[in-house]
Amino acid sequence: MGDHVYRRCTFALIPFQHHAIVLDIWKINPEEDGDECAWMLKVFDFSRHPEDVQAILPESPRVILSSPQKKRKDGLRVYESPAQHWQKVIYGAPIQRHLFSSSGTCTAAKSDAPGLIRARVQFLLEHAADEIVDASHEGSPTALLPEYAWFYANSECVAVWCKTGTWATMQAVSWLTWTALGQIKSAATIAGVAAATQVAVPAAGLWGWLGYTAQASLLTVQPALAPAIAAYGAVTVAVPAVWWHRARNQWQSITVRLNEAFWKAAMDDPDLFADGITLWSE
């Protein structure tokens, strides 16, 4: 209990991962051994489609949405799903594993104890819709749990916060990093091609007047291309960097407000919180 799991999905032919936290696991047919399909998981997740599990898990005919969650509007869900569709995210992974693994499948971060993970899940289920006054929203009341957003608030963000107390997504970090690196390579390639491309120009002096030509680089003949190439590189590299900076600020802000609210709720009823931690850690 408390494992962070993911499954591979596609939307409009774009692959992505959907993440969840395992609340329980059981075998449908205890008398059968070695049947992977017989195992079921009860998972907790965050989705843009809170009332429709099939919208995100269309190939899972046995998915069952838990009835108490049907009318939730905050994007949180608790449901049952076959274990074979999910894979476990590895925490405390060595750097060598990062080099050969997809983003979102492993992290060097350490996982908290199962009891604390389950306590965070329960806290979100009970308080996600609570309104708070956030300075980043000009003092207007806003929900404790942000609305679903691909960069700032997705299923992985919720799962990582439940596991570590930090709101972040490894998939978005990887995408922004590789996009920026790809644009740097693209801009450098364009500049290199422009510098290497040779064009014919009239030869200097009498030879040019007689119709002879010489070879010169495209950048030499068209110097106005240099600032255009520089502007292209600045824009294409800077945009992912700006997104990354903005996302990091958003993640830090959400981390602080969730942790403050979580520990305040724990202090309001310390005995119940301690009992829950003990029970869920067993």
Q: What is the pLDDT of residue 219?
A: 44
Structure tokens at 261: 């609210």
139 burial via Cβ count (<10 Å: 0-12, 13-18, 19+): exposed
Highest mean pLDDT, choosing among 9-23, 125-139, 189-203, 267-281: 9-23
Q: What is the pLDDT of residue 282?
A: 64
pLDDT per residue over 84-104, tens digit each?
889 999 988 887 776 677 777
3-state secondary structure string across 72-140: CCCCEEEEEEEHHHCEECEECCCHHHHHCCCCCCEECCCCCCHHHHHHHHHHHHHHCCCEEECHHHCCC
* 74 confidence band (pLDDT: 50, 70, 90): confident
Angle between helices 114-127 and 270-281 (to 10 degrees): 130
Query: What residues does each domain of the chain span?
Result: 4-175+240-281
Mean pLDDT of the chain: 71
Mean pLDDT of 38-62: 70
CB 263 within 8 A of CB 120: no
The rounded percent of the chain whose pLDDT value lies above 70 is: 57
Beta partners for residue 90, in sequence order:
106
Residue with tokens 């600020």: 249
pLDDT per residue over 121-156, tens digit each?
999 999 988 877 665 555 567 889 999 987 789 999
Helix (H, G, I), strand (E, B) or coil at 216: strand
Q: Which long-range contacts (CB under 8 A, 24 or more apart) does 106-110 make?
A: 107/160, 107/170, 109/160, 109/163, 109/164, 109/166, 110/164
Parallel/antiparallel/unpaired status of strands 90-91 and 106-107: parallel
Query: d(Cα 24, Cα 3) in Å, to the nearest integer?
Result: 10
Query: d(Cα 94, Cα 37) in Å, to the nearest integer?
Result: 31
Structure tokens at 172: 């978005």
Mean pLDDT of 41-47: 93
pLDDT at 56 over 60: no
Q: What is the pLDDT of residue 45?
A: 94
Q: What is the pLDDT of residue 71?
A: 53
